[in-house]
Chains A and B, each alone.
Chain A
Amino acid sequence: MPTYTAPLRDMRFVLNELAGTERLRTLPGCEEVGPDLVDPVLEEAARFCAEVLLPLNQSGDIEGCTLENGVVRTPRGFPEAYRAFREGGWTSLGADPDWGGQGLPKSVGLLVEEMICSANMAFGMYPGLSHGATMAIEKHGTPEQRALYLPKLVSGEWSGTMCLTEPHCGTDLGLIRTRAVPEDDGSVRITGAKIFISAGEHDLAENIVHLVLAKLPDAPPGTRGISLFVVPKFLPTEDGRPGARNGVTCTGLEHKMGIKASATCALAFEEAKGWLVGRPHKGLSAMFTMMNEARLGVGVQGLGIAEIAYQNAVAYARDRIQGRGLDGTKAPDRPADPILVHPDVRRMLLTMRAMTEGCRALCAMTALEHDVSLRHPDPEVRKAADDVVQLMTPIIKAVCTDTGWEAAVAGMQVWGGHGYIRDNGMEQFARDARITQIYEGTNGIQALDLVGRKMGAHAGRYLRSFFHPVLGFIEARMEEPAMEEFILPLSKAFGRLQQVTADLAQRGLRDPFEAGAAATDYLRLFGLTALAYAWARMAEIALGKEEDAFYRAKLATARFFMQRILPETSSLAAKVLAGGGTLKAFEDAAF
């Protein structure tokens, strides 16, 4: 069975040394955020994840959820774990103190989320969805709706869902058919079918608060005619307790490749009572305001899987002995050397490590900007920070989830045939990771978001939040010999990215097909360049501290990244510059 030790040292590094808690402490409500406050939280989260959530990961996967007479049961141990999770205050960690939350910044919250996803990603789905519902009501709900739902959601007594997808539409929500018919008392009656609803029905919480996209009778066609509604499973009574059962039922559970302990439901709404959240027809834009955070959250799922896959691959590579080192015997006292000595195994492990730590760094840097964008008193500063979040969100979502999948696959590979055996737990990581590249906007959609929305917005202003600081960083270190091995490759990749960006902006403006054809490769190119920037910054911090093994490993990993991963940018640039002609020319009938 896989093991997990939360990477607390690296987490403290990215939080305190890389992103920097001084900047965090300048934000209202974050004045106390420092090691004294954060370390105990991280340590307790690490313990909870290793001791409570991890042991349920494999059993939950094997057992899955069951549906009987409209009632969904989660795997054995889940209800107890959820109660302990709730009572431990983990549902309220980042929530507003006004609703009973602890008000910790996203910079800390993301680290805890990563641990949960490493230990038991399927379990993490339940509080994750509640968090989305909380944000929707907090941002767009009426004062009454907030007072009614938020304390329950924050405490975890009630859980939440997001009901968007319907059988015939996922990415293109303009096509949805669920209808909302206004009642005289200001409520609506909702009728329609929703699918792929995570946490849509379960036995963990006493009530479930569904947030549902539907169309009002006078709705304009397309995405501008969608409204958001709150539809509780049990209608709250006067004193805010679950009352009469509402007209929403679970009609089926999906049989999925992974995250089997997460109940993915088909829901039928039959004249279910609901209430409008936000303004009529503005439901999609209400959802958009939460999208960045949701997408960052999915990126962190990928990161979490990558971390646990890496840890278990390393453990196996140390333990498993096969053959002798190509450069001589390493363990003469044993019949064979551990496979850790083989260069190709080392290649896999270092790739996993460099990508995982790089992604953690990017997430931490972006989470800090996210906190600044929400909390800073100066609107100009908030705007500048939000620019970073807007730009980095699709990159983080796609790159971190690709990393999750690739690391899970590499982890299986290190394990050889044993990685393919269910009991060993490695293949579960691959199965669980796979969904993160698909949901919350497929990674192809993330790439389109980057080239279609983010690149051209405000004549490239979002890009400025990356290009200017990175160029400034490079120029300031051109004369530093110790940094040369990191700055030169970064500067090369940066130049490629500049060239490709200018080229793509022009071609894409003339012909959107060109932008679409280049999108995925462009995102990867951008992501690797951003990782190179993160690695150069981490290397700079580590330089001069080589006596500490942690920093020594940082520098070694940074070198590996620059020499063995970053060169991928040159082939990506070539692919983008080649254009979309071959994609367009191929005859549809010949596929």
Chain B
Amino acid sequence: MSGTTGAPMVETELRTKAPAGRAVPATTMRGASDHGAADPAHAPDQGVNRPRIQKVGVVGAGVMGAGIAAQVANAGVPVVLLDIVPGAAAKSVERMLKTEPAPFMHKGAARLVTPGDLGTDLALLAECDWICEAIVEKPEAKRDLYAKLESVRKRGAILSSNTSTIPLAALTEGMGESFAADFLITHFFNPPRYMRLLEVVRGPATRAEAVAAITEFGDRVLGKTVIPCKDRPGFIANRIGGLWMQSAINRAFDLRLTVEEADAIMSKPMGIPKTGVFGLLDLVGLDLMPHVAASMKATLPAEDAYALGLREHDVILRMIAEGRTGRKGKGGFYTREKGPGGESLKRAIDLWTGEYRESEKPQLESLSLRDLRALAEHPDRGGRYARAVLLDLLGYAASLVPEIADSIADVDAAMRLGYNWTYGPFELIDRLGAAWLARALAEDGRPVPPLLAQVGEGSFYRVRDGRLEYLGTDGAYQPVPRPEGVLLLADVKRRSAPLARNGSASLWDIGDGVACLEFHTRMNALDPGTIEMIGKSLAMGKKGAFRALVIHNEGEQFSVGANIGLALFAANIAAWGEIEGLIEAGQKAMRSLRDAPFPVVGAPSGMALGGGCEILLHCDAVQAHAESYIGLVEAGVGLIPGWGGCTTLLRRWAENPRAPKGPMPPVAKAFEMISTAQVAKSAFEAREMLFLRPTDGITFNRDRLLADAKARALSLAEGYAPPEVGPLRLPGETGRVALGMAVHQQVLLGRATPHDVLVCERLAEALTGGRKDHTEDTTEAELHALERQGFMALLKTPATLARIEHMLETGRPLRN
């Protein structure tokens, strides 16, 4: 890989889309990080010492360097970004403002980046507490740069390299003692905003304080999970991930699988993202492979399994030569072509001829198996493939501890966060059975790694007294460590029984008199069970079961909103009474959240859409993960928010001190946001859009979100009184006419469909107060009734039902 493009890393997989069709920078990993708020203006000091790193320098404005600088800026820390090519740093900041998924969490973050040229602006680095190098992967070039940095850096400033391939020893060679004491490797994954893994490698001379400072900054400020690695080629994730890719490719050729078959086996059954292996190569670029291979070959011992397995495949070489390097090139293993009728046809490479053919859904019996061991034992080529790759991968991983890391838990965490795997290799071994794997390796005449032999009939992980433990290299189980300030619901669930539970949600005691309401449906869609559980939780709180409530879960998405599949089925059988009853129950639940005699704090991560957003709007406070994507997207499926979303967003804008006075501006703003189904692409954007209040907190490290939310809830609990909710003054008929004219403009411009007009009419009615006008008060009850009527009227239209069905079946909005 070239140094300026950074680590050969796995891209974020865009696995999910916002229902309104605006792509949300969904991440398959959850962002991690820390303290209260990164926006310095609102950063509450939550017991963290003043950060030792207050200004950062990044040298090398390629994809990785620029992305690291952007994430530092996202966290509210000023950063200098330099590049050897004059003007390149400034250009990369410009470029990042247009990139999707966005490296910046909000436009304002870009202002914290000071771009400059290495030749003229070196002195800017003098103020930096940490300078991160992300230039070309050539030791001499790096050492030349380090010599320059030595001349400007302030005393004790930490230096690091984002190298993914060069041993630390080669970088510090001849650089002097004070350099070596302040130097380490900080290996980020691409894209740095979204990938949660940060591998840190210290040298023998590195100061412990420097490691501690970077670890704390990476964890709490940048939100990464910091994994200490040994100074070995590829560190943890790329060493194991690279071997996996190599094995998955080689074995597909050996066992004559199609690319579709290989990817089908190498994804869901193994807990790997759906791109599998060939799809992943298309994503990262086929041309990267030879570079990685060359670098690994140069640094690994010749007898290493990775080095031994290096092979070239004619078909792949030819594809690279022809520029078919993947999504950034002229297609890769998969491509799309226009069919005779103009339709888009998915095509795939035939691995033997190198020609494209129509893509085919794999038809392997082994693919229907849910149990990993049953898959690996299945006699068809899918099963043989799974077995071969698993043996390669897991045998290799088991042989690398303690060479590359001291703890198997660190290895698993690195693979989960760096490659978005659901299970790390040792967790996979436990799923297969360690003894099964040892026997299978022996049957194939392969060595059984000592670590594996040591486990015997046991497992690498176990739960003892409600605590998760892993097997140390000394043969003793020890607790999987949690950094101070990390509270995981998964740990709570291991050690206790829920206070209450139904099929959709559970209530947990998270200590100190705080309860946590957890959703656990698919994508955390809200259904009657969820509403019932909200009511039950509030009733228990009123009886004194706890003194504050946090709404949080550890799913990928906080909640994608009401279960529209259930709603559509009910609508299809014309069960209108039941549906309206559920809307009313939801409205009541939202009001009860707000009016409860104890504080309720929402703690979202990932998507909080539709009903999920409405829950947050009715919480007393929100502590949001920085990677929260919040919006009222109902219009995308031809509906309007019915659980108080219209009313509450309207109130937010009406009460916003910065907004222009008069009844119309807040209505217009809420109308614009809801009618176009706007989704905030970060917690910062959500704050700008008033989905979050200025006082709501933002946490960068996802693992710290629950603890931060709990602290917030406790801070509110003392002397808590529910908020007063007064009536609103709304423009009525006049406002509705004005909004109608605006919509008419959109129709003339071809931007609104006939059904959009209908949805907008109902939305306008709910936001302008129906028959009331600005001389009268409109109560919340009246507004909720308008929301309900609008929702029901729209749900009875075939166009809305067609939109819902299309969204359910394709994940994309229908423009009808």
Residues of A at the B interface (CB closer than 8 Å) are 220-221, 224-225, 458-461, 463-464, 467-468, 471, 498, 501-502, 505
Which listed segment binds A: B96-104, B472-480, B565-573, B693-701? B565-573
CB distance from A485 to the nearest CB of B (A): 23
Asked if A459 contacts B573 (CB within 8 A), the reply is: no
CB distance from B260 to the nearest CB of A (A): 13
**Shortest Cβ distance from B578 into A: residue:** A502
CB distance from A338 to the nearest CB of B (A): 47
Q: Does B808 contact A (CB under 8 A)?
A: yes
Which of B363, B574, B804 has the most CB atoms of chain A within a 10 A radius of its CB?
B574
Asked if A459 contacts B569 (CB within 8 A), the reply is: yes
Asked if A459 contacts B572 (CB within 8 A), the reply is: yes
Q: Which residues of A contact B572 (CB under 8 A)?
A: 459-461, 463-464, 467-468
CB distance from A221 to the nearest CB of B (A): 6
Point out the residue from B363, B574, B578, B809 that lies within 8 Å of A468, measured CB to CB.
B574
CB distance from B502 to the nearest CB of A (A): 13
A420 to B538, CA, bound (A): 71
Q: Does B371 contact A (CB under 8 A)?
A: no
Asked if B574 contacts A471 (CB within 8 A), the reply is: yes
Asked if B575 contacts A459 (CB within 8 A), the reply is: no
Q: Which residues of A contact B565 (CB under 8 A)?
A: 459
A461 to B800, CA, bound (A): 12
Q: Does B409 contact A (CB under 8 A)?
A: no
A461 to B798, CA, bound (A): 10
Q: Which residues of B contact A221 (CB under 8 A)?
A: 363, 365
CB distance from A458 to the nearest CB of B (A): 5
| CB pairs A–B below 8 angstroms (10 shown) | A458-B809, A460-B572, A460-B573, A461-B805, A463-B569, A463-B573, A464-B572, A471-B574, A502-B569, A502-B575
Count A-B contacts at CB 8 Å.
45
Q: Which residues of A contact B570 (CB under 8 A)?
A: 502
A461 to B571, CA, bound (A): 9
CB distance from A223 to the nearest CB of B (A): 11
Q: Which residues of B contact A502 (CB under 8 A)?
A: 569-570, 573, 575, 578
Which of B571, B573, B805 has the most CB atoms of chain A within a 10 A radius of its CB?
B573
A471 to B570, CA, bound (A): 14
Q: Interface of chain B, helix or strand or loop or mixed? A: helix
Q: Does B616 contact A (CB under 8 A)?
A: no
Q: Which residues of A contact B575 (CB under 8 A)?
A: 498, 502
A464 to B570, CA, bound (A): 10
**Shortest Cβ distance from B576 into A: residue:** A471
Residues of B at the A interface (CB closer than 8 Å) are 363, 365, 565, 568-575, 578, 801, 804-805, 808-809
Q: Which residues of A contact B571 (CB under 8 A)?
A: 464
Q: Which residues of A contact B809 (CB under 8 A)?
A: 458
Asked if A459 contacts B805 (CB within 8 A), the reply is: yes
Q: Please list the 10 inter-chain residue pairs (A to B) with the smallest Cβ-Cβ separation, ordered nearest first.
A: A460-B572, A220-B363, A464-B572, A460-B569, A459-B568, A467-B574, A471-B574, A467-B573, A463-B572, A459-B569
CB distance from B742 to the nearest CB of A (A): 30
Asked if B574 contacts A459 (CB within 8 A), the reply is: no
**Shortest Cβ distance from B806 into A: residue:** A458
A167 to B571, CA, bound (A): 45
A95 to B689, CA, bound (A): 63
Point out the residue from A224, A458, A463, A471 that lies within 8 Å of B805, measured CB to CB.
A458
Asked if A464 contacts B801 (CB within 8 A), the reply is: yes
Q: Which residues of B contact A460 (CB under 8 A)?
A: 568-569, 572-573
CB distance from B577 to the nearest CB of A (A): 10
A458 to B571, CA, bound (A): 12
A468 to B800, CA, bound (A): 14
Q: Which residues of B contact A461 (CB under 8 A)?
A: 572, 801, 805
Sample of 17 further A-B pairs with CB below 8 A, known A464-B573, A464-B801, A467-B573: A220-B363, A225-B363, A458-B805, A459-B565, A459-B569, A459-B572, A460-B568, A460-B572, A460-B573, A461-B572, A461-B805, A467-B572, A468-B572, A468-B574, A498-B573, A498-B574, A501-B573
A501 to B574, CA, bound (A): 11
A276 to B303, CA, bound (A): 54
A501 to B571, CA, bound (A): 12
Q: Which residues of A contact B363 (CB under 8 A)?
A: 220-221, 224-225
A463 to B795, CA, bound (A): 16
A505 to B573, CA, bound (A): 11
A459 to B569, CA, bound (A): 5
Q: Which residues of B contact A505 (CB under 8 A)?
A: 569
CB distance from A541 to the nearest CB of B (A): 24
Q: Which residues of B contact A459 (CB under 8 A)?
A: 565, 568-569, 572, 804-805, 808
CB distance from B563 to the nearest CB of A (A): 10
Q: Which residues of A contact B578 (CB under 8 A)?
A: 502
Q: Which residues of B contact A225 (CB under 8 A)?
A: 363
A439 to B804, CA, bound (A): 38
CB distance from B567 to the nearest CB of A (A): 9
**Shortest Cβ distance from A475 into B: residue:** B574
Q: Which residues of A contact B574 (CB under 8 A)?
A: 464, 467-468, 471, 498
CB distance from A495 to the nearest CB of B (A): 10
Which of A221, A463, A468 has the most CB atoms of chain B within a 10 A radius of its CB?
A468
